């Protein structure tokens, strides 16, 4: 079975995409095109480059990569993505959409024009990093004279590049909304509200997928806690494995 896949953003929960991709491979589903946002952009870029889900997982949870996710403060008081970009440049040295083995599109948000920007050609790493720049936490990335932040601000489920070009589209959505416990701080409350807003812009797009993979247990994991990476991977894998995707 051949299928395109759209990978949502979701911070640490995005590791579930790797479990989903592993399950799809085991069911002989051939991924022919990928569109990804934020964490889904990173997973999509690595998978499109030919890395296995297991290898990507090892890279993501490696010591150096975890350090890259906690980069130095920038001149404007926000974190920047420079160290993360340096790490991923080791695994994606060609730094080019054209050299990927599977066509990939990633999205980011043009901060000043309020527009969704899609990238599928040219330089790879800067658009991928821009797609991950959570507003208020990471410094925006300047690319092609545009100031870019996280793609999830306007479109956390970027299915549009896949429409009218693929017969079957799988949506891997790693942000099921639900409170596993009551917020205990203002920061926690703001985070929950942000993810609710992001989920809201995904709902109409989720409905356009032929099949949606959204493990409900992911709501039990903090989107910013990568320490539960193994459990998150397993949740994605176990849920996707039960769907018998190749039989749809």
Catalytic residues: 38, 150
How is 174-214 classified by DSSP, letter by letter?
Answer: ------SS---SHHHHHHHHHHHHHHHTTHHHHTTSSEEE-
* DSSP conformational letter for 138: B
Residue 212 phi, psi dihedral angles, 5° rounding? -115, 130
Can you tell me the distance from the alpha carbon of 197 to that of 201, in angstroms, rounded to the nearest whole number? 7
Report the length, in residues, of the chain: 248
Can you tell me the distance from the alpha carbon of 57 to that of 48, in angstroms, rounded to the nearest whole number? 14
């Amino acid at each position: 079975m051949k299928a395109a896949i759209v990978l949502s953003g979701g911070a640490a929960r995005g590791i579930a995409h790797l479990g989903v991709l592993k399950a799809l491979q085991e069911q002989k589903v051939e991924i022919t095109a990928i569109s990804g946002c934020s964490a889904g952009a990173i997973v999509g870029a690595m998978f499109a480059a030919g890395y296995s889900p297991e290898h990507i997982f090892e890279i993501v949870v490696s010591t150096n990569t975890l350090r890259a996710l906690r980069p130095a403060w920038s001149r404007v008081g926000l974190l920047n993505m420079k160290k993360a970009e340096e790490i991923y440049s080791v695994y994606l040295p060609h730094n080019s959409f054209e050299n990927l083995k599977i066509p990939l599109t990633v999205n980011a948000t043009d901060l000043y024009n309020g527009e969704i920007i899609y990238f599928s050609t040219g330089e790879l790493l800067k658009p991928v990093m821009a797609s991950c720049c959570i507003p208020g936490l990471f410094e925006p990335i300047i690319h092609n004279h545009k100031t870019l932040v996280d793609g999830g601000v306007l479109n956390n489920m970027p299915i549009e590049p896949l429409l009218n070009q693929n017969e079957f589209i799988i949506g891997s959505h790693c942000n099921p909304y639900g409170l596993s416990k009551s917020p205990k701080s203002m920061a926690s409350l703001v985070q929950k509200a942000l993810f609710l807003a992001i989920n809201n812009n995904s709902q109409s797009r989720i409905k356009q997928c032929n099949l949606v993979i959204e493990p409900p247990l992911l709501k039990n994991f903090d989107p910013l806690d990568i320490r539960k990476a193994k459990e998150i991977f397993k949740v994605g894998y176990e849920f996707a494995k039960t769907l018998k995707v190749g039989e749809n």
